[in-house]
Amino acid sequence: MGEIDPDRAHPARIYDYLLGGACNFEPDRVLAERILEVMPGAAEAARVNRAFLRRAVRYCADQGIQQFLDLGSGIPTVGNVHETAPGSRVAYIDNDPIAVAHSEIELADTPTAEAVLGDLCDPDGVLDAEPVRRLIKPDEPVAVLMVAVLHFIPEPYDALARYVAAMPSGSYLALTHGTVDTKPPSSGDVINLYENSGSSVAPRSREEVAALCDGLAIVEPGVVWTPEWHPDAPLTADPRDAMAYAVVARKP
Ligand SMILES: C[S@@+](CC[C@H](N)C(=O)[O-])C[C@H]1O[C@@H](n2cnc3c(N)ncnc32)[C@H](O)[C@@H]1O
């Protein structure tokens, strides 16, 4: 973490390319195009994921949440958390220095939000970071967002437990998570492409995603395909095309 290696494709910049962004290098674009060759729905899946983030943030804000810890926040794009929940306090955490540098530029005029370079697998480092301590009040309910990030982490369990332990009652965890439950024929190719570029990939089943919320009360409609989570409009495509589950859970 902390070093920019423009010769290696990185999930933050691959995702940015899939979303039509410009914060990516040649290796990111090459890998993203190879992913699109074997899985043409990957760009739409990225947009669907991003749309969930906005719905989940709105939901949490409607429940009275005024502070957000966005872990694996990525490169700023349409519908960042501080824009979707204006007036809230937001700490953006990512382990990609490019994502953090772009977030710092985006947030230059927003004193209530800050970007921090950090590894979500180091919860003490994240929670002790000065901007996090300044923005996130430990005794006030918080929404912890882990959107499209845990499938890059084979062993997130201890870190997750630490974040959940730090969340006061009334806090929320919101996440999306890639899966191969529908056995998409090209999923093995996509996993190989990521792994050959140095990223770990850990798709999880619906039950495994539910287990990530152990100790929390999963809110309706449960662990569902991402487009099915409180959709803004009737669905027009097969929700399984998202290749990811979404869930929001509340700490009792
Ligand atoms: C697919 S993007 C998702 C971005 C954003 N959460 C969203 O859903 O729009 C995954 C992000 O997680 C970040 N990431 C991956 N592993 C991480 C880790 N261990 N700690 C912090 N960020 C991580 C990547 O750099 C990338 O920006």
Which residues pair with residue 70 across a beta bridge? Answer: 92, 145
Which atom of ligand 1 has the smallest separation from the CA of 146? 6
Cβ neighbors of 102 (< 8 A, separation 6 or more) are 23, 75, 76
Give the separation between CA 157 and CA 227, rounded to whole angstroms: 25
* pLDDT grade for 185, boundaries at 50, 70 and 90: confident
From 230, 234, 233, 227, select the one nearest 219 (Cα to Cα): 230
Ligand 1 proximity of 121 Cβ (cutoff 6 Å): yes
Ligand 1 proximity of 149 Cβ (cutoff 6 Å): yes
DSSP E strands, 4-120? 67-71, 89-94, 113-117
- CB contact burial 116-152 (16+ within 10 A = b; e otherwise): bbbbbbbbeebbebeebeebbeeeebbbbbbbbbbbb
From 17, 35, 6, select the one nearest 186 (Cα to Cα): 35
Which atom of ligand 1 has the smallest separation from the CA of 121? 19
DSSP E strands, the chain? 67-71, 89-94, 113-117, 143-147, 172-178, 217-218, 224-225, 244-250
Q: Which domains does the chain have, with CATH numbers?
A: 11-250 (3.40.50.150)
Nearest residue (by CA) to ligand 1, atom 13, is 72
User: Ligand 1 centre from 94 Cα, in Å?
Assistant: 6
When pLDDT is averaged across residues 118-130 and rounded to a whole number, the result is 98
User: Ligand 1 centre from 146 Cα, in Å?
Assistant: 8
* pLDDT at position 1: 61
Give the separation between CA 108 and CA 142, rounded to whole angstroms: 23
- What are the φ/ψ torsions at residue 116 (nearest 5 degrees)? -130, 135
* pLDDT at position 78: 83
User: Ligand 1 centre from 251 Cα, in Å?
Assistant: 23
Ligand 1 proximity of 67 Cβ (cutoff 6 Å): no
Query: Does residue 5 register a pLDDT over 90?
Result: no
* pLDDT at position 2: 59
Sign of CA dihedral 9, 11, 14, 20: negative
* pLDDT grade for 65, boundaries at 50, 70 and 90: very high
Query: Does residue 131 register a pLDDT over 80?
Result: yes
Ligand 1 proximity of 72 Cβ (cutoff 6 Å): yes
* pLDDT grade for 7, boundaries at 50, 70 and 90: confident
Query: Does residue 90 register a pLDDT over 80?
Result: yes
Ligand 1 proximity of 96 Cβ (cutoff 6 Å): yes
Which atom of ligand 1 has the smallest separation from the CA of 19? 9
What tokens were used for 101? 């540098």
* pLDDT grade for 164, boundaries at 50, 70 and 90: very high
